[in-house]
Every structure is written in C-alpha cells, then in structure tokens.
Amino acid sequence: MNSKEFKKALELLEERGMEKESIYEDMVLALTSAYKKQTGLTNVRVEVDKDNLNFKLFSFKTVVLDKNHKESLDEDQIPMREEEELTEEQLNDEELEDLPEEFRYRPFVFNDKIHITLEDARKLDPDIKVGETIEEEVDTDKFGRVAVSTAKQVIIQKVREAERNNIALEFGEKNDEIMSGTVEMEDEKNYYINLGRTQGLLPKTEIIPGEEIKMGSNIKVYISKVDINSKGALILLTRKHYGFIKRLFELEIPEISEGVVLIYSIARDAGNRTKIAVYSENSNVDPIGACIGEKGSRISNILKELGKEKIDIVKYSKDPVEFIQNALSPAKNLKVYILDEKTKETMVVVDNENLSLAIGRKGINVKLASRLTHYNLEVKTLDDVKKAGINILE
C-alpha cells in the first residue's frame, strides 16, 4: 500500500473526526495484521513516517547461538536440553525470565524466518548478543494483494466505527430537538435529509399534510427517534409532531428560550391548526404579545415554516374555567360548567352566533381545546340545554 493510498485513507478518517494519532495507530495495526495473516509470522513491526506518509515494514529475528543450539544461550543463561520440553517445574522464575519465550516450552527448531545465528548477526551488528533481536526491512511491493486488501478492510471498519462514534456523540442527546437539513434523496415512502455527519429519514407520512418538499431545499425537522447500533445509525424525523411547534417557538421567541414566557401545553392538527397555551410568571410580561412580536414579525416566521397551518396562541390560566374559555377562541360569550372534576367532564354553553366558531370546522376547534386543557368539552347552545332538560344554569 503506497503513500497515496494511505493519504486518501488518512483524509477520509480525519473527515470522520478521528484524531491523527489514533489514525496512525489503526493504520499500523491494519498493516501488522495483514502481514501476519499472509505470512503466518508474528515477528513484524510497522513504522510510519508521519511527514511523508510512508509506511515501512520490518521483520525482526531473534539471535540464537547456532542452528543446532546444543550449547548454552550464553554464559549467563541456562543450557538447552536437546529434544526436551522445558516446563515451569524444571526452571525457576528467574531462569524463565532470562530465557527467550520461544525456547521455554518446546524443543528448539531453527527457523530462518524468525531466527538468526550469532555469527551472522554480528556481521550486521558486532555488539549484538544472544537473545536480542535484529531487524530487516520487508519489501512492501511483495506484500501481496491479499494483505493490502486485508489492511483496507480494517481501515474501512475503522471508518465505520468512527462514523458511529461521531454520530452517537452528536445525535445521542438530540432526541426531541429541531435541526435544519438539506433534502438529498426521495423514494416511494421517504425523504432523506442531510444533517451533516449523517442522513435522517423523514417518512412521507410525517410531513405536514399539503406541503411540497423540493429536492435540494433546506428544511427544519424534528428528531423523533435516535437509534445507534452496530449496524449504523437511524435518525427518524418528523414535521407533524407537536414538539416541532414547541421547538419553533423556542427558536423564534427569545422570551421562551430564556424562560420568561413558558409553554403550558400544545395541541396540534398538522396542516390545519395548532393551539399553544403560554403564560409568564412575570406580571409585567404579555406572553401572547411576546409570541406575536412587533407587527406579527415573530409569529410570521413560524407560520412560514408551517405553510397553511394556523396557530392560536392562548393564554394559560390556573382557573380552568377561564383557561377553557381562552382555549375555545375565537368563540366568545361562553359559559363553562365543570360537571365532574375527576373525570374532567365539562359542558360549554354558547349562543347560536358562536356555536360554529366554538366547534370549528369538522369539530377541530373543540377537539384541540379539549387536548390543550385536558378537559372533555361538550359544546351546546342554550336551546339544546333546555330541550335536554339539563339543569345547570343559574
């Protein structure tokens, strides 16, 4: 594997956020593993020139006295016993520590791939001793395609691991958050959104009904699920979730992101209408005015993101009657009767003029108000109440 190939791999791994030192270590491990797999030998060392991106292989050999090794290793070490397996019982700890490992537990067999005689070794290094090692560079051109392929596979695996780690680091805590991304691909069921380090999956069932998603456009998405495992990362996205509205308000309304204005609840029928209840513990702050902004500047930015979907900003009240009246906006002149606080059964009496406003098209206004307030609302006119013989009026 030449320096150009390593440089490309290095750049790829750096793009994935891996530290250079870690990359070099992985490269060394990859080459070492490939060489050992090809040759069956373990006596190999890899050296990297970080400036020129050159990688060199060195095979090291252990110096032995001679090929037969019938005499002692040297005058300070233990005589070898010909054709005899040495065991821990025959040698004490100090003797075992001094004796090279390949001689400890089996009869010595000279192997010119891992051994070199003292006589030959001293031709290269006059001061070398028995038991030390001597290295020679391996011709990487003879390394073989199989070894190179093995090294590349290890590197590819490292890339995948780096991607998973970086995605886990970046997205692991972004569940229920909003992000901006670019629409890259589309198939029959999904849009694929580029979120930077990875793609998010936006099912077509999770877009706002009626909206048109264009390829290459930049859109905001809500992360509904993050699943990172050994196979990769799955980032599920949506634009229908009520949390999408909450995050939009936090982005556009500084008082909400700062905690001056608080969101009590949100009820949404995506593509049609959303009701959001807000309040402030500071009596000098108008929570609805803060959300609308000067000349509607703040709410208009949110509405642009939602297309034709309408938003009712409702003031939350600890008084359930007042809260319900606010939630049924734009209907007015309402009388609210909480029939059972435990079951939240509530009757709302309206005049004929406000009946359609209170119920809304296809009943959506009263449905959203019920979800917003957590009360079961039943809307009736005064005539309906009288005809039913219901005795709740003062």
Fold of 3-67+110-159: N Utilization Substance Protein A; Chain:P; domain 4 (3.30.1480)
Domain 3-67+110-159 and domain 181-238, same fold? Reply is no
pLDDT tens digits, residue range 7-48?
676 676 676 666 667 767 777 787 787 777 777 777 888 777
Interval 329-355: pLDDT, tens:
999 999 999 999 999 999 999 999 999
Work out the pLDDT band at 71, boundaries 50, 70, 90: very low
Residues 304, 293: Cα–Cα separation, whole Å: 15
pLDDT in tens, 257-304: 999 999 999 999 999 999 999 999 999 999 999 999 998 999 999 999
Length of the chain: 394
> Are the beta carbons of 378 and 347 closer than 8 angstroms?
yes
Fold for 181-238, please state it: OB fold (Dihydrolipoamide Acetyltransferase, E2P) (2.40.50)
Fold of 241-316: GMP Synthetase; Chain A, domain 3 (3.30.300)
Residue 240 pLDDT > 90:
yes
Residue ranges per structural domain of the chain: 3-67+110-159, 181-238, 241-316, 328-394
Residue 267 and residue 13: Cα distance in Å, rounded? 45
Per-residue pLDDT tens digits for 146-176: 556 666 676 777 777 777 777 777 777 778 8
145: pLDDT confidence band, cut at 50, 70 and 90?
low
CATH number of 328-394: 3.30.300.20
Residue 332: C-alpha distances to residues 93, 135, 327 (Å): 95, 92, 11
Give yes or no for a contact between 73 and 65, defined as CB atoms under 8 angstroms apart. yes
Residue 63, Cβ neighbours under 10 Å: how many? 23
C-alpha span between 239 and 245 (Å, rounded): 9
Place of tokens 């070794």: 121
